[in-house]
């Protein structure tokens, strides 16, 4: 098609370009890119009956971008006969502008399905690259909080993974709070949606840990979790992230960049909140030990005190007095005995003296009829010259005294 | 330090010393009596400490038993 307008002319409001001119120019620009090899994921494939052209929607696996591709049925049959939606492909194509509808599409002349082996090899290469960059460094891992405020959960809508995380976490800690963001967890939309969800939850100040969960699936189903853009997004999050993808044996790359890897969504629930009953039990046990320790200490001390108090010096203080009292009694006894001894000795002596006294007594002589003549002052009269007539005398007889008077000498 | 402030351990230590001194003998009656009175005093202080501790322990237990859940 020839255009009459001079190419170098600028468009102006006075001299605007007709659609055909613009369309032709766009076609020329688009054509300049030429043939390229493209890596992408098949989002849609439509084989229309009655036509030899197949329409494909090719998506970037990490971003929300897509391109339309057209290919001849033969091209498809030759390179990728079993092509299904979601497959990773490498194709040789040239962009073309369709002036009739003003649309752009790629025309492919060769399509190769990227096999699982090649995909896994790519993941292995990416793993080495990320490891070399230090994204798996254990020092980057942040510890999720012991008891989170609010837990962010990124998972499929109404999925078993969502139910497993919510049910198990609530069973362990009934007051647990979640902010759930549902995303596609497989297929071409998965990675961009998950990256958006992570960004939203990472910005929420109440969310202090994020769980990225998905139930088990085929290796292909889990491919989005080894996506480079997703891994980098997880690594860039400031909130600790727990990955809980598939089963125990699945280890997508996101497991390596996450702060904590849970083997399953149920395991993530166990790791994200403590078990209330278990915590109560632990506190109970600690309290019981505390009680036993305290009671034991008091019992031991009481025993020690009892021992001290039961020592005779304290328990029987009367001994202190008793001992001295015994000494005192003994002394008194000794004194008593000493005195008694002296007394009896004295009594004996008295008896003897009395006997001697009695032996010397004149009473027996008087009994025989003798009398003792005494002057009133008691002087014994032995000589007649001792008296004169008229003197009073006393005559002492055995039976008593008789008064007398001297009549003559 | 008054007897109100004396710790359980200090009271028990002094009590043991008093008992030893009494047991060793050689003190006058007046001294012995004074020692014995001090010993009784110290034993009473020790017992008050132990009783007090046990009462607090029992109170804590009753409180715990009264707790819901």
What is the domain partition of chain B in residue ranges? Answer: 8-66
> Token pair for residue A220?
């292909």
| Predicted pLDDT at A82 | 79
**A324 at interface of B, judged by CB pairs closer than 8 A:** yes
pLDDT (average), residues A368-382:
86
- Partners of B63 on chain A (C-beta within 8 Å) are none
Instruction: Check A309 against B57: CB less than 8 A apart.
Output: no
pLDDT exceeds cutoff 90 at A232: yes
pLDDT (average), residues A226-255:
91
Q: How far is it, in rounded angstroms, from Cα B12 to Cα B15?
A: 5
CB distance A136 to A123 below 8 Å: no
Calculate how close chain A gets to B16, using CA atoms only, in Å: 7
| Predicted pLDDT at A227 | 92
- Please name every residue paired with A105 in a beta bridge, in sequence order, or none if there are none: A96
pLDDT (average), residues A47-71:
87
Q: Which of A305, A314, A320 is the closest to B12 by Cβ?
A: A305
**A116 at interface of B, judged by CB pairs closer than 8 A:** no
Report the range of poorest mean pLDDT among A65-79, A139-153, A201-215, B52-66: B52-66
Instruction: Check B36 against A309: CB less than 8 A apart.
Output: no
Residue-wise pLDDT for A5-34, tens only, equals: 555 578 899 899 999 999 999 999 998 999
pTM score of the predicted model: 0.57
| Predicted pLDDT at A46 | 86
pLDDT exceeds cutoff 90 at A356: no
Q: Which of A294, A309, A324 is the closest to B29 by Cβ?
A: A324
Calculate how close chain B gets to A277, using CA atoms only, in Å: 11
Stated length of chain A = 409
Spatial neighbors of A206 by CB under 8 A, at least 6 apart, are A149, A150, A179
A120-125 long-range contacts, CB within 8 A, separation 24+? A120/A219, A123/A223, A123/A226, A123/A253
pLDDT exceeds cutoff 80 at A264: yes
pLDDT (average), residues A349-365:
82
The parts of chain B modelled with pLDDT lower than 70 are 1-4, 68-69
| Predicted pLDDT at A233 | 95
| Predicted pLDDT at A61 | 83
A72-77 long-range contacts, CB within 8 A, separation 24+? A72/A109, A73/A47, A75/A108, A75/A109, A75/A110, A75/A111, A76/A111
> Token pair for residue B46?
């020790």
Q: Which of B47, B53, B54 is the closest to A305 by Cβ?
A: B47
Stronger pLDDT, B3 or A71, i.e. the higher one? A71
- Please name every residue paired with A92 in a beta bridge, in sequence order, or none if there are none: A37, A110
Going A144 to A149 to A154 to A157, the CA torsion angle's sign is: positive
Instruction: Check A320 against B36: CB less than 8 A apart.
Output: yes
Question: What was the ipTM of the complex prediction?
Answer: 0.76
- Partners of A291 on chain B (C-beta within 8 Å) are 57, 61
pLDDT (average), residues A124-135:
92
| Predicted pLDDT at B63 | 83
Secondary structure of chain A as H, E, C letters: CCCCCCCCCCCCCCCCCCHHHHHHHHHHHHHCCCCEEEEEEEEEEEECCCCCEEEEEEECCCCCCEEEEEEEHHHHHHHCCCCCCCCEEEEEEEEEEECCCCEEEEEEEEEEECCHHHHHHHHHHHHHHHHHHCCCCHHHCCCCCCCCCEEEEEECCCCHHHHHHHHHHHHHCCCCCEEEEECCCCCCCHHHHHHHHHHHHHHCCCEEEEEEEECCCCCCCCHHHHCHHHHHHHHHCCCCEEEEECCCCCCCCHHHHCCEEECCHHHHHHHHCCCHHHHHHHHHHHHHHHHHHHHHHHHHHHHHHHHHHHCHHHHCCHHHHHHHHHHHHHHHHHHHHHHHHHHHHHHHHHHHHHHHHHHHCCHHHHHCCCCEEECCCCCECCCHHHCCCCCEEEEEECCEEEEEECCCC
Q: Which of residues 293-322 of A touch B (CB under 8 A)?
A: 294-295, 298, 301-302, 304-305, 308-309, 311, 313-314, 317, 320-321
Stronger pLDDT, A55 or A328, i.e. the higher one? A55
Q: Which of residues 67-86 of A touch B (CB under 8 A)?
A: none
For residue A322, give the chain B residue with the closest CA.
B29
pLDDT (average), residues A164-168:
93
> Token pair for residue A300?
């031991």
CA angle at A301 for the pair A296 and A303, rounded to the nearest 5°: 95
Instruction: Check B53 against A304: CB less than 8 A apart.
Output: no
| Predicted pLDDT at A322 | 83
pLDDT band at A249 (very low <50, low <70, confident <90, very high): confident
| Predicted pLDDT at B2 | 63
Instruction: Check B12 against A304: CB less than 8 A apart.
Output: yes
| Predicted pLDDT at A378 | 83
Instruction: Check A314 against B22: CB less than 8 A apart.
Output: yes
| Predicted pLDDT at A226 | 92
| Predicted pLDDT at A302 | 92
Calculate how close chain A gets to B19, using CA atoms only, in Å: 7
Which of A291, A309, A310, A318 best tests the B interface by mutation, with the highest count of B CBs <10 A? A309
Instruction: Check B12 against A287: CB less than 8 A apart.
Output: no
pLDDT (average), residues A391-395:
89
> Which percentage of chain A shows pLDDT scores above 90?
42
| Predicted pLDDT at A192 | 92
pLDDT band at A114 (very low <50, low <70, confident <90, very high): confident
Q: Which of B8, B23, B54 is the closest to A313 by Cβ?
A: B23
pLDDT exceeds cutoff 60 at A326: yes
């Amino acid at each position: 098609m020839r255009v009459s307008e001079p190419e170098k002319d600028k468009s102006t409001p006075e001299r605007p370009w007709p659609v055909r001119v613009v369309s032709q120019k766009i076609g020329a620009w688009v054509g300049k890119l030429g043939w390229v090899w493209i890596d992408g994921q098949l989002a849609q494939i439509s084989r229309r009956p009655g036509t030899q052209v197949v329409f494909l929607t090719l998506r970037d696996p990490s971003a929300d971008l897509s391109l339309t591709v057209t290919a001849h049925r033969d091209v498809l049959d030759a390179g990728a006969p079993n092509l299904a939606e979601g497959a990773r492909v490498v194709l040789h194509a040239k962009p073309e502008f369709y002036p009739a509808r003003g649309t752009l599409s790629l025309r492919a002349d060769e399509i190769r399905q990227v096999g699982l082996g090649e995909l896994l090899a790519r993941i292995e290469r990416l793993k080495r690259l990320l490891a070399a960059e230090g994204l798996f460094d254990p020092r980057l891992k942040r510890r999720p909080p012991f008891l989170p405020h609010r837990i962010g959960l990124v998972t499929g809508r109404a999925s078993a993974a969502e139910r497993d995380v919510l049910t198990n976490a609530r069973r362990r800690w009934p007051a647990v709070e979640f902010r759930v963001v549902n995303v596609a967890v497989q297929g071409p939309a998965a990675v961009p949606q998950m990256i958006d969800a992570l960004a939203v939850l990472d910005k929420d100040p109440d969310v202090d840990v994020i769980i990225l969960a998905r139930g088990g699936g085929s290796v292909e189903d889990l491919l989005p979790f080894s996506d480079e853009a997703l891994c980098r997004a997880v690594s860039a999050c400031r909130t600790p992230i727990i990955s809980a993808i598939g089963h125990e044996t699945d280890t997508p790359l996101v497991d390596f960049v996450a702060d904590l890897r849970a083997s399953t969504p149920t395991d993530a629930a166990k790791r994200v909140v403590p078990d209330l009953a278990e915590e109560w039990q632990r506190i109970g046990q600690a309290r019981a030990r505390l009680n036993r320790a305290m009671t034991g200490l008091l019992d031991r001390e009481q025993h020690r005190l009892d021992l001290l108090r039961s020592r005779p010096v304290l328990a029987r203080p009367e001994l202190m007095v008793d001992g001295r009292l015994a000494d005192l009694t003994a002394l008194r006894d000794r004194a008593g005995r000493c005195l008694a001894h002296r007394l009896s000795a004295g009594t004996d002596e008295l008896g003897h003296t009395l006997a001697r006294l009695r032996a010397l007594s004149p009473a027996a002589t008087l009994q025989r009829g003798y009398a003792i003549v005494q002057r009133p002052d008691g002087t014994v009269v032995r000589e007649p010259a001792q008296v004169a007539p008229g003197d009073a005398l006393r005559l002492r007889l055995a039976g008593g005294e008789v008064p007398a008077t001297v009549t003559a000498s | 330090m008054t007897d109100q402030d004396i710790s359980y351990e200090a009271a028990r230590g002094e009590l043991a010393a008093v008992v030893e001194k009494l047991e060793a003998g050689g003190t006058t009656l007046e001294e012995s009596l004074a020692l014995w009175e001090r010993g009784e005093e110290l034993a009473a202080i020790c017992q008050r400490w132990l009783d007090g501790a046990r009462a607090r322990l029992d109170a804590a237990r009753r409180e715990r038993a009264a707790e819901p859940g």
